[in-house]
């Protein structure tokens, strides 16, 4: 994935999450739209549609920022992490998605 494309992807996904807020997530009824990155494999993330995957990646970036106790981020660093994660998942499809993201985000 090119650096420019992944920067746009991360920015758009984060902006989308910020603009929709938690009410959009809370309004979604439980069911097939629910996802748990903690139990998903890399293969499952890679099979998501573009918009679903963008949202999952934005979510996990936010999750990692929350774990660090910060709201500050560098879009180029997030883009590089996204690229490393996608490359890693292509090479390790059976590994846990969240643990893989944490591994490449260090």
- CATH number, residue 12: 1.10.890
pLDDT given for residue 24 in this prediction: 40
- pLDDT means over runs of 10, the chain (106 residues): 54 47 41 81 94 95 95 96 97 97 95
pLDDT given for residue 18 in this prediction: 44
Q: How many domains does the chain have?
A: 1
What is the rounded distance in angstroms from the CA atom of residue 98 to the CA atom of residue 26? 22
Please give the span between the terminal C-alpha atoms of the chain, in angstroms, as a whole number. 20
Q: What is the reported pTM?
A: 0.70
What is the rounded distance in angstroms from the CA atom of residue 69 to the CA atom of residue 64? 9
Q: What's the Cα-to-Cα distance from 36 to each of 33, 44, 50, 104, rounded to whole Å?
A: 10, 11, 17, 19
* Segments forming the whole domain that contains residue 86: 3-28+37-105
Rg (CA), the chain: 13
């Amino acid at each position: 994935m090119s650096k420019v494309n992944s920067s746009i992807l991360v920015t758009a996904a984060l902006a989308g999450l910020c603009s929709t807020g938690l009410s959009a997530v809370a309004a979604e009824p439980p069911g097939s739209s629910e996802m748990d990155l903690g139990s998903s494999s890399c293969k499952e993330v890679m099979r998501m549609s573009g918009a679903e995957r963008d949202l999952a990646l934005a979510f996990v970036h936010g999750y990692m920022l929350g774990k660090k106790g910060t709201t500050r981020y560098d879009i180029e660093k997030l883009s590089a992490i996204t690229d490393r994660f996608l490359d890693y998942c292509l090479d390790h499809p059976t590994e846990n998605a969240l643990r893989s993201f944490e591994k490449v985000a260090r």
